[in-house]
């Protein structure tokens, strides 16, 4: 299945963007009458046939709409501090999108290594990963958000903070995979290489966050984030028939 991103799609006929048209006609060498699939990134999958194979304005006719197409059985928000090396953060964005994440929040904390986040390239990484993994839901990328701003924001789901220090709450730290419930809405915070400060952990606990661990191994920021996304996916997929 060849999947194309069409955020402004309006059936029954639609003209792909110049970039997607070039990829379809010049790169993949598809032509008049060939079948392709498109998604709006909001959950709908469109089965279409090429009616005009112009390499700059490929037009298709929508023959079937599947909405929603394979939706996630959970809603996961990952708030992760950008790494100093941008390639490592883009690797996280790609893998998290492939595995399944609803929203990603670049998080600025006390020990952050990077305090400027340019989203243009990251948005392209997410789109490419969505298409490659044949998903109809595109992960949302939020702007760089400060730790305090995130704590002050309204969130109705379960709130978890991963850190490497000793637990501060009376309930202690729990292994993420052991406390997850299938189908729940979850927000997970992953800090920078220097971890969250003790003050930030205390503030998070006061704001209703539970302390978690991802295991005994010491993990890089982007690795920890992918491990967390994978745990949520596994717990939810174990319940699927």
Answer yes or no: do 25 and 114 share one domain: no
- 168 and 57 in a common domain: no
The verdict on 92 and 41 lying in the same domain is: no
Task: Give the model's pLDDT for residue 1.
Answer: 85
Whether residues 195 and 225 fall in one domain? yes
For residue range 24-36, list pLDDT tens digits in order: 999 999 999 999 9
In the chain the beta strands, taken as DSSP E runs, fall at 3-5, 13-15, 35-39, 45-52, 59-66, 75-80, 103-108, 140-141, 145-146, 158-162, 174-175, 185-190, 210-213
Same domain, 81 and 174: yes
Same domain, 45 and 159: no
Domain that holds residue 35: 3-66
CATH of the domain at 52: 2.40.240.20
Residue ending a domain, choose from 16, 31, 66: 66
* CB 205, CB 75: distance < 8 Å: no
Q: What is the pLDDT of residue 114?
A: 87
**Residues 6+ away with beta carbon under 8 Å from 192:** 81, 82, 83, 109, 111, 112, 113, 221
Segments of the chain with pLDDT less than 50: none
Q: Do 148 and 60 fall into the same domain?
A: no
pLDDT at 65: 96
Query: Which of 127, 64, 122 is closest to 90 using CA atoms?
Result: 122
Q: What is the pLDDT of residues 190-224, one digit of tens each?
A: 999 999 999 999 999 999 999 999 999 889 999 99
pLDDT of residue 193: 92
pLDDT on residue 240: 59
The structure's pTM equals 0.93
Q: What is the pLDDT of residue 238?
A: 79
Q: Map residue 24 onto helix, strand or coil.
A: helix
For 177, the 3-state DSSP assignment is helix
Question: Considering its fold, how many domains does the chain have in total?
Answer: 2
């Amino acid at each position: 299945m060849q999947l194309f991103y069409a955020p402004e799609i309006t059936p029954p006929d639609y003209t792909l963007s110049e970039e997607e048209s070039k990829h379809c006609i010049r790169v993949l060498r598809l032509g008049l009458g060939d079948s392709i699939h498109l998604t709006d990134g909001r959950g709908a999958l469109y089965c279409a046939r090429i009616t005009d194979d112009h390499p700059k304005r490929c037009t298709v006719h929508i023959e079937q709409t599947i909405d929603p197409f394979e939706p996630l059985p959970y809603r996961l928000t990952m708030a992760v501090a950008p790494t100093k090396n941008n390639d490592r953060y883009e690797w996280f964005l790609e893998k998290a999108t492939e595995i399944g994440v609803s929203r990603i929040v670049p998080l600025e904390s006390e020990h952050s290594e990077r305090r400027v986040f340019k989203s243009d390239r990251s948005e392209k990484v997410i789109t490419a990963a969505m298409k490659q993994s044949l998903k109809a839901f595109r992960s949302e990328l939020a702007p760089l958000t400060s730790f305090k701003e995130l704590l002050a924001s309204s969130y109705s789901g379960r709130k978890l903070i991963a850190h490497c220090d000793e637990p501060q709450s009376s309930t202690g730290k729990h292994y993420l995979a052991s406390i997850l419930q299938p189908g729940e809405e979850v927000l997970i915070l992953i800090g920078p290489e220097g971890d969250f400060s003790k003050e930030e952990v205390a503030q998070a606990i006061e704001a209703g966050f539970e302390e978690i661990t991802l295991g005994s191994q010491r993990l890089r920021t982007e690795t920890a984030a992918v491990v967390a996304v994978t745990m949520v996916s596994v717990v939810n997929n174990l319940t699927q028939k």
